[in-house]
Structure 1
């Protein structure tokens, strides 16, 4: 199978397009014929070795956390998925297994979910990691409840876009920071206040909007870009930072928070993603949640996609197209009959 491969961790030069054996699904696993792979900041961090604190790399290694496609085969004990079924998933890259930048990926059945009928493959591939990060930050760590107030820092990014919508779906009142160019887009998603983080005074805008402070600040950017985030909270409120893994970004200071009478947390998913993804899929299916705007690139442009994400120059959520969706079922049939994948 074709795959974007690294043989060591490092910069953009370690990426290569190569051929690897097609994985076999183990017991409890689903083999996906990948149509699209979502591109996330975690992918370039994985390439550079930031995840070595959590996993052991075994080279050659395939990066990529998010995949959409069709079921090509299932391992023993899998009963809920059948070949040809449209699914999306979060891979086990964080556990040291091959990821989604490949024609096939084997994923635990606990992390695979049927794609809602109103989503295409590219849209589905844009969902898992950012939507799960938003969910973890808002609910698992932030304990968000209806009628509470939330500030999402970085509301126009993929995580922020999902966070704004999830918070609104939960009955919260939501403010978000974004560029002036993305303000209307956020307001269309239901945001109650959009603050220009470049030209506006975030603290002044929040003081006018929520004089007593908000219940929850979700920092989806990190790296010190919201230096006074704790000051925006009401007493007893919580600041949740999405884990960036970037050197020097240690997240909010719990001691400083305690002095202010507020709390801090770092959002990091610790559970199989399937249960949460099914809840997210239901919201997508109902239309209460929409994926971010998307730009598709071919697998061969994976290096460029990662550069755009790493530099912050990506104007949309980037997705790698690995197989044409219209041909996905034919490709699965080819796999099952033992014929090589045709290109």
Structure 2
């Protein structure tokens, strides 16, 4: 099979022909249709993501994928040959990633692809959707009528978090720049232009100085600090997917509110709790089938041969949605 190999950090990939992996008794072999690109991939490639525990040299990166199962291990009972699936399956901790034509995958990490989206759209979902679900459902347990503030609602995790919260009946606000207002309105969120409102101003205007029930920080740094002052007293809950560095908890403590972090990669690195990822994606497929969730996907088409262009598009911030790499031959009708 063809695969993109990383020999050294911060160096170009090398396309190589390597043996197709063989699925063991507890794995499935997936013919990969598309691989989703995440900011994490760029950090790993540049050697700036030690927490991902990538094994070098000769690493195959890429965490997200969609594809079709072509063989099934003897101990696998919940999938069969021909199933269209998607998942966050590798690229970290020494596991083969998705920038290759095939991957042997732990089926606990997979779910059946929703029938009303393409393979390209499905490949956009796993990492950002699992992260958003863990934040909104597992940590915050949002309820109908909850007021939710999502920082960065036009981003990958943000736009999915908005849709999950809306599907649960929450009232969702989001901080965005002025050029992103229509995007988040179309997702059902109430936009807050962070270039025009201070934290104090939007808390006053949108919550009558009460604060939000839930605040999701997808940006980190000073945005996380601001989140600690934006939650409701006593019952408010802040969740961050980038809770790194040093932060004063005093503003949060003075409000009597709570905080949770999300580390989506842990099951891949540790091998523990992987079934939960598959269960999350199964629930997400249901939301997609009912029309309650749809990923924003960049309209450009990229292949393994043009991955450098895809990465540049992500780095310059001009992508309109998630960037996806087409892995399969476009003439394969089952993987289009």
DSSP-derived class of the 1:67 partner: strand
Match of 1:323 in 2: 328
Match of 1:181 in 2: 179
- Summarize the Cα distance change of 1:172–1:329 in structure 2 as closer, same or farther, 3 Å threshold: closer
Tell whether the 8 Å contact from 1:89 to 1:107 is kept in structure 2 after alignment: no
DSSP-derived class of the 2:237 partner: strand
Distance 1:254 1:201 in 2: 20
Distance 1:208 1:52 in 2: 41
256-265 vs 162-171, greater mean Cα deviation: 256-265
Match of 2:109 in 1: 111
- Summarize the Cα distance change of 1:221–1:133 in structure 2 as closer, same or farther, 3 Å threshold: same
- Please, what TM-score do these two structures have when normalized by structure 2? 0.89
Is 1:76 paired with 2:71? no
Tell whether the 8 Å contact from 1:25 to 1:31 is kept in structure 2 after alignment: yes
DSSP-derived class of the 1:63 partner: coil
Q: CA deviation at 1:299?
A: 1.6
Q: CA deviation at 1:287?
A: 0.8
Distance 1:261 1:330 in 2: 51
Tell whether the 8 Å contact from 2:217 to 2:242 is kept in structure 1 after alignment: no
Match of 2:144 in 1: 146
Match of 2:123 in 1: 125
Q: CA deviation at 1:108?
A: 0.5
DSSP-derived class of the 2:55 partner: coil
- Summarize the Cα distance change of 1:291–1:56 in structure 2 as closer, same or farther, 3 Å threshold: closer
Match of 1:257 in 2: 252
Q: 2:132 aligns with which of 131, 134, 145?
A: 134
Is 1:282 paired with 2:277? no
Distance 1:22 1:208 in 2: 58
Distance 2:138 2:245 in 1: 20
DSSP-derived class of the 2:92 partner: helix
| Cα RMSD for the two superposed structures | 2.2
Is 1:194 paired with 2:198? no
Distance 1:258 1:189 in 2: 33
Distance 2:129 2:331 in 1: 26
User: Post-superposition, which runs of at least 4 consecutive aligned residues in structure 1 deviate over 4 A?
Assistant: 328-331
Q: 1:102 aligns with which of 91, 100, 103?
A: 100
Q: CA deviation at 1:85?
A: 2.1
Correspondence 1:193-342 to 2 at 5 A: 193-211=190-208, 212-225=210-223, 227-236=225-234, 237-243=236-242, 249-250=244-245, 252-269=247-264, 270=266, 271-272=273-274, 273-295=277-299, 296-324=301-329, 326-327=331-332, 329=334
Q: 1:15 aligns with which of 5, 13, 16?
A: 13
Tell whether the 8 Å contact from 1:293 to 1:317 is kept in structure 2 after alignment: yes
Q: Which has the higher strand share?
A: 1
Q: CA deviation at 1:57?
A: 0.8
Partner deviation per Cα, 1:253-296 (whole Å, 9 max, x = no partner): 44552244222221113432101110011111111111113333
- Summarize the Cα distance change of 1:16–1:263 in structure 2 as closer, same or farther, 3 Å threshold: same
Count of residues in Structure 1 that have an aligned counterpart in Structure 2: 324
Distance 2:242 2:28 in 1: 28
DSSP-derived class of the 2:116 partner: coil
Q: CA deviation at 1:14?
A: 4.1
Match of 1:341 in 2: none
Distance 1:259 1:310 in 2: 38
- Summarize the Cα distance change of 1:167–1:72 in structure 2 as closer, same or farther, 3 Å threshold: same
Distance 1:119 1:325 in 2: 17
Q: CA deviation at 1:313?
A: 3.6
